[in-house]
Structure 1
Amino acid sequence: MEDPGGTHDKCLVKTKVHSTGLWGRDIDGMDYRFVTYSLPRLFLQLCIMFGLTQALHLFFLKRFRLPRIISELLAGIILGPTLIGRFDWIKTNMIPMYEGQYVDLLSKIGFLLFIFLSGVKMDPGMVPRSGAKAWTIGIPSVLLPYVILKYLSRKVLNDHVWTHIHRYRHPAIQNTLGIQSFYSFPVTAVLLVDLKIINTELGRLALATGLICDLFSNLVSTIIANISVGVMSAMPLVSVHSFALSSGLILFLVVTVRPLSAMIIRRTPEGEAVDTFHVLFMCFAALLATVLADNVGMNFHYGPFILGLLVPDGPPLGSAVVDKLDTLVSGLFAPLLVTYSGTKIDLLNLFDLRFLGVVWITVMVCYVIKCVAIFLPALACRVPLRDAAALAFILSTQGVVQISSYHNSLVNQTYDTETFSMLTVAALVTAAVSHIMVASLHDYSRAYCGYERRNIEHLSKTSELRLVTCFHRLEDAVAARKLLEVSFSSKETPLVIYSLHLAELVGRVTPLLIDHQLGQMKTSAAAAASPAANSRSQKLVAVLRSFAQQHCNEFVTLNFFTAISLPKFMHDDVSALAFDKLASMIILPFHRKWNHLGRLIVDSSSMRLLNRTLLDLAPCSVGILIDREKRRMHRRSPSSSSYHVAVIFMGGADDREALCYAKRMSNTPGVQLTVVRFVPADHNAEKTQWDAVLDSEVLKEVRHLAQSNDTKVCYKEETVKDGAETACTVHEMEHVFDLILVGRRHETNLPQLFGLSQWNDIPELGPLGDMLAIQHIRSPVSVLVVQQQYVKNK
């Protein structure tokens, strides 16, 4: 009736989307079960994929320090036709062929947003300021493999070196050589984060070189692709047309995205988050850029990548986009593409074994060529041998970008299932090998090992004291300033201070370490990276400027730095600065803060993790400053011009370090030092050891000063029989002194500490530090918990 006399055939299809219940129903003679419907089946597929991925990673592969992509691929292989996908019920109900498009669509959208976010996190300004070393390594690393692989492609295929390769297989080999010559910055960044070396010198070099390689290889491949289109069509005008459209798209994105981003930033009030509508608009623009790139002849993922590069990284826009999308995209959709590609792998139906051998040889040859092309320029740039080898493995690794290219080639039938399976397994092998080799070549835990004494105890009397003070908040800077004021400086023993503001990296992947000039209130790099961090840095500079005006002279030197990085990698910035500047001690703020009423207002787990990591990895001594400055500001007792410092001494390297620092403080005008030595009631408990000899030597000078009627130094001995008496004596000291220095580590069998270790709330402070860090202390006493430097053997 709608089309009288028409010849078009029509059919009625019942689309089964939503399930009516968990139990199956018999409708019109058809058995409609729960898994018959598309939406419940899709959710079940996602649950199984991610549940299996997380189980493999957490319970098995994480113990071997293998990357997460291995778990994602193995989960796909297990669910695919290689294992449980061979069963008829699984093929019929779980992953039917006509339903795979839903998971495929989600994985493609997730991959596009992943590429877009990777571009947002990149800093294009890093390319011109990367330095000669990154350029010298990056350019040959792209050109040499490309030229060599093109030559091998022509020699092997056109000259018929391998005559058994059928001519229909030639496009597969050529496409493989092209994909193997690519570099992927997102894959490099993910590997560096997994290995926890993104803030090290090697990590920074890998980021800069990887960014140059990625951009340059994409540029070269785009130009060659446009020329190839004209050659294949025998019409040079086609190449010009394709190049003009590609250039026009890039120009269109430049002239539209930058002004729109600037407008969004202007309309966002300072200190407030970007409106959600603008984030959604950027997602829409990323998908639109994908469509435009595909229609002008570019690879479809170039569009969102270029768009992401044009979005200003960092707050407020770039960080808002990353905050809203990163967890969902990087944690859900991008791994989905890897797992879904793994379900296409069939390792049981392999027929042309000779050709598969050629595929493996091709992949291995390409991998070796890329490693050599990176390794040799790195050696020429005087990169250490182990670091040069690690850099080669880092930049040559394969990840989600290469697997996506393999999957696209399978879809457009450039690859058959055999070739795709071998190439994807090869990506799994190379990713695992790269991860293991880099972890073995570059041990991040020993990156800043000190082979020389860098502590206060072993400083000569005529050496300058170098301190690194770290701040997260303004209160940290105020507390550290008071400590610096009582750190004595003179012509014979000058004081050099390196103040480091630690700011969280938001909306970008490249960490920054900014060197300020004292009094320079604005730093372009800091403002571009994080306006909020730059604002806080200015306030900290103001605090230190006032300190400089009062105390800095020819005997005191103050330098200020800002480190912007992820909280779990901040220890690298602190350690690198202390290592480069030959510091003797790092002063860290305590992770808890109290107000003037004694109530806990800050308890930062990230700050605590930073402190614990530095206690293990720092190249010098470490001091954790527990500050109660706010209680001191509200104390009702009349102020006094003297500052009372105490040292609790029980013996050991950490106590000697604390005592040596306190002896230096005693030379400051207005500082009175009291050394309290706790000795056991049972003198037979003490053992004659080398530490006892060193303790006596350090205490000799203190006793001499105390016996010479020096009112600034007082020496006392308290006899205690167990930890309970020690605790009572220490609590009495809280109301007398302004600053108490204690060592972190002591011998486990000391009678003076018996029973205290069993009640530790914060083990990293040691028994005495934990006792003095409790919230219930009402006096305004500050505490410095000291650990002397670990000295590693070569």
Structure 2
Amino acid sequence: MFGLRTYRRLVSLLQSGALLGPTLPYIVTRVLTIFHYLFGLGGAAPNYEHIRQRYLGTVFREEGLSLLRTAASFGIQMHFFFVCVKMKPGHLKRCGKKAFAIAISSVIVPYLLLNELKKVFKVEDDYTIEGIGFYTSVDYINVIISISSFPVVGSILAELRLLNTELGRLTMSTSLIADLGSSFYVVVYTIVTVSRNMHLGVLEAASKMVGYVFLLAFLFSVFQPWIRWIVRRTPKGGRVWEGHVIMVILVVIAMGAFSDSFLSSHWEASVYLGLLVPDGPPLGTALIERGEFIPAELLVPLTYLIAGRWIDFTSFIHPRMSIALLLYMFAGYTVKTLAAMVPAIYFNMPVRNAALLGLMLSFTGVVQIASCMGFADAYIGSPILEPEAYAALIVSGVCITAISSSLVAIFYDPLSSDHVMGCRTVQHLMPQAELRLVAPMLNEDPVPHVLNLLEASSADEQTPICVYVLHLVELMGRATSTIIAHKNRKGQLDAHQMDRLHNVFINYEQTKKGIVAVQPFTAVSPYKSMQHDICSLSIEKNVHFVVVPYPRKELGANPELHQATRSIISNVLTQVGTNLSNDGLF
């Protein structure tokens, strides 16, 4: 976990915020009190409440806090929009029964069990639980534990370099299903609960319903046709006009203000807007490249800092209840892991991988922290979560992710070769057997060299060659990696997303009919983990030779590509050839 840049920063910012908050004057008071009694200083001992009020009144002034809260809210709103731009609800059609079964089990089972377990908390006459807050806060805690946040899971898997592994893709599909389903439930539950418990008037409840109707009308009558028009107007391979990008971001900001006034939360409209923007190029990639940096690198960390500032360790006046809440949450995450394991094992997944899948679905991050901040926000007038319960939630969430990510990093090796039997090299190839090789390429530069290699192999009808051409595309403007096969089992080509690189080899196959067979693939994944696609394809197809064009640092190659190539050479169980040509970066 401490190897993850995002979580190192998250923990440091939470710690900084906690120390800058009420905890700092408490520590100063204790130190001054010790000096007061050790050196026999005259007068009264330092008063904590006096020091606390002067410190908070000086460092955290009301106008400054208001500005920080506004910036953090804007950062969360834009962050959720960009995260949803990378998502594609259409991916649900490609998710199999396994992903749906794991998602349903990992959400419903822990929620129902925690709903029964919450009876151990005693509800007072004023509908509150001592040390936790309003009794409905336990229901929201159950939802936080049960859901698997798609953006949080995706960001941590990307840093662990597991996004394009078999288990990583299954985890992303499962979390996408769980996130969309639970989000719909939370919206409905929030409207009903808030309307019932906050005693909204008829006009206020009606305004929320009218707000949702207006939002749906705007989304499908105005925003979606406009987005499609922008995509159609952009030439293939061209860049989206800067004005369109700015206008889309301005619409998101305006709808955020509308959402804050008429919907359940200020970021809700941003989520729906992001889901309607097509992922990848041209528009999705342009929005991510030009608009994601400031929210992700400046405003979201500010949210962590504010979240840490709300952690007040001096508010732990009910330690037994805080410990009980921590145990309650750890029990929930344990049940969640087991609930994900059962259907995974039913679908013939190894127990070890099933356990790691459950741990991946337990990752927490900015979504859970933002939810906790909303429940404990004293500025909304009636927070439903006590400060000590809020601190327990934040601490337990960080600890759960620390444990889960560390176990996944230690025990999951996607390039493990324990299950591969026998030798698969050119040396061990049987006479008159088909030679299979993988040729991964980022661009068209290595194509002539690979064709020259095929010509030099002197293949004939008795010793044919099968070439798996893998076009590597960097993952940009998307959250999920994918590998696309452009030829089905019947040998029929699917020209969708094929390019000139594939067409060159298809034409070569036609000239060498019966001698050379070409299987075109496209892998969309991050640079730093592209070796997983190459190695998994080599193992799956039982290839004997991998041609890896070597990235030359002196020619400006990406360092991540150089590291990926070295990983291929050290992990793949076949012979590896490297192309050291001077005219190709990869």
Q: TM-score range by the shorter chain?
A: 0.7 to 0.9
2:15 counterpart letter in structure 1: L
Deviation at 1:309, TM superposition (A): 0.5
Equivalent in 207, 221, 230 of residue 186 of structure 2: 221
Equivalent in 613, 618, 630 of residue 567 of structure 2: 613
Distance 2:559 2:88 in 1: 29
Distance 2:492 2:583 in 1: 25
Distance 2:475 2:131 in 1: 52
Q: 1:167 to 1:507 in 2, by over 3 A?
A: closer
1:311 aligns with 2:272: no
Residues 655-683 of structure 1 show CA distances to partners (whole Å, capped at 9, x for unaligned) of: xxxxxxxxxxxxxxxxxxxxxxxxxxxxx
Partner residue, 1:546: 507
Do the aligned partners of 1:78 and 1:85 also contact (CA within 8 Å) in 2?
no
1:522 counterpart letter in structure 2: A
Deviation at 1:239, TM superposition (A): 7.5
Equivalent in 538, 545, 550 of residue 585 of structure 1: 545
Do the aligned partners of 1:513 and 1:561 also contact (CA within 8 Å) in 2?
yes
Deviation at 1:169, TM superposition (A): 4.6
Q: Secondary structure at the match of 2:163?
A: coil
Q: Which has the higher helix share?
A: 2
Partner residue, 1:380: 346
1:548 counterpart letter in structure 2: E
Deviation at 1:205, TM superposition (A): 0.3
Do the aligned partners of 1:120 and 1:310 also contact (CA within 8 Å) in 2?
yes
Partner residue, 1:71: 12
Distance 2:395 2:302 in 1: 17
1:584 counterpart letter in structure 2: H
1:565 counterpart letter in structure 2: S
Distance 2:6 2:93 in 1: 35
1:331 counterpart letter in structure 2: E
Partner residue, 1:479: 449
RMSD (Å) for aligned C-alpha atoms:
3.3
Deviation at 1:591, TM superposition (A): 2.2
Do the aligned partners of 1:227 and 1:239 also contact (CA within 8 Å) in 2?
no
Equivalent in 288, 291, 299 of residue 325 of structure 1: 291
Do the aligned partners of 2:106 and 2:146 also contact (CA within 8 Å) in 1?
no
Partner residue, 1:176: 141
Deviation at 1:149, TM superposition (A): 2.9
Q: 1:311 to 1:168 in 2, by over 3 A?
A: closer
Partner residue, 2:319: 353
1:194 aligns with 2:135: no
Distance 2:549 2:374 in 1: 51
Deviation at 1:231, TM superposition (A): 5.0
Distance 2:25 2:195 in 1: 46
Structure of higher CA gyration radius? 1
1:470 counterpart letter in structure 2: P
Partner residue, 1:47: none
2:501 counterpart letter in structure 1: L
Q: 1:566 to 1:108 in 2, by over 3 A?
A: same
Q: 1:498 to 1:448 in 2, by over 3 A?
A: farther
Deviation at 1:371, TM superposition (A): 1.7
Aligned length: 553
Distance 1:104 1:240 in 2: 28
Partner residue, 1:134: 99
Q: 1:521 to 1:541 in 2, by over 3 A?
A: farther
2:468 counterpart letter in structure 1: Y
Equivalent in 551, 558, 568 of residue 518 of structure 2: 558
Q: 1:78 to 1:261 in 2, by over 3 A?
A: same
Deviation at 1:251, TM superposition (A): 4.1
1:437 aligns with 2:420: no
Q: Secondary structure at the match of 2:542?
A: coil
2:546 counterpart letter in structure 1: I
Q: Secondary structure at the match of 1:370?
A: helix
Equivalent in 237, 247, 256 of residue 222 of structure 2: 256
Deviation at 1:212, TM superposition (A): 0.4
Give 1:520-539 correspondences, 5 Å limit.
520=493, 522-523=495-496, 526=497, 537-539=498-500
Deviation at 1:291, TM superposition (A): 2.8
Unaligned runs of 5+ in 2: 29-50
Q: Secondary structure at the match of 1:62?
A: coil
2:69 counterpart letter in structure 1: D
Distance 1:441 1:247 in 2: 48
Do the aligned partners of 1:379 and 1:385 also contact (CA within 8 Å) in 2?
yes
Residues 356-381 of structure 1 show CA distances to partners (whole Å, capped at 9, x for unaligned) of: 12321221222122222222122222
Distance 1:379 1:165 in 2: 40
Deviation at 1:623, TM superposition (A): 0.9
1:434 counterpart letter in structure 2: S
Residues 233-279 of structure 1 show CA distances to partners (whole Å, capped at 9, x for unaligned) of: 59999978855643552343132221111122233344332222222
Deviation at 1:125, TM superposition (A): 0.9
Deviation at 1:66, TM superposition (A): 6.2
Do the aligned partners of 2:506 and 2:518 also contact (CA within 8 Å) in 1?
no
Higher relative contact order (CA 8 A, sep 6+): 2
Distance 1:501 1:85 in 2: 59
Partner residue, 1:105: 70
Which range moved further: 235-244 or 316-325?
A: 235-244
1:207 aligns with 2:172: yes
Give 1:362-401 correspondences, 5 Å limit.
362-401=328-367
Distance 1:127 1:113 in 2: 24
Do the aligned partners of 1:229 and 1:239 also contact (CA within 8 Å) in 2?
no
Deviation at 1:342, TM superposition (A): 0.9
Q: Secondary structure at the match of 1:246?
A: helix
Equivalent in 62, 71, 74 of residue 3 of structure 2: 62
Do the aligned partners of 1:136 and 1:381 also contact (CA within 8 Å) in 2?
no
Do the aligned partners of 1:196 and 1:569 also contact (CA within 8 Å) in 2?
yes
Distance 1:502 1:398 in 2: 31
Do the aligned partners of 1:183 and 1:396 also contact (CA within 8 Å) in 2?
yes
Residues 181-215 of structure 1 show CA distances to partners (whole Å, capped at 9, x for unaligned) of: 33211111011012110010001001111100000
Distance 2:526 2:239 in 1: 20
Identity over the aligned pairs, expressed in percent? 28
Distance 2:157 2:141 in 1: 25
Q: 1:255 to 1:380 in 2, by over 3 A?
A: farther
2:10 counterpart letter in structure 1: I
Residues 501-524 of structure 1 show CA distances to partners (whole Å, capped at 9, x for unaligned) of: 11122211111211112784731x
Residues 98-134 of structure 1 show CA distances to partners (whole Å, capped at 9, x for unaligned) of: 5222222222211111100110011111012112211
Normalization by structure 1: what TM-score?
0.64
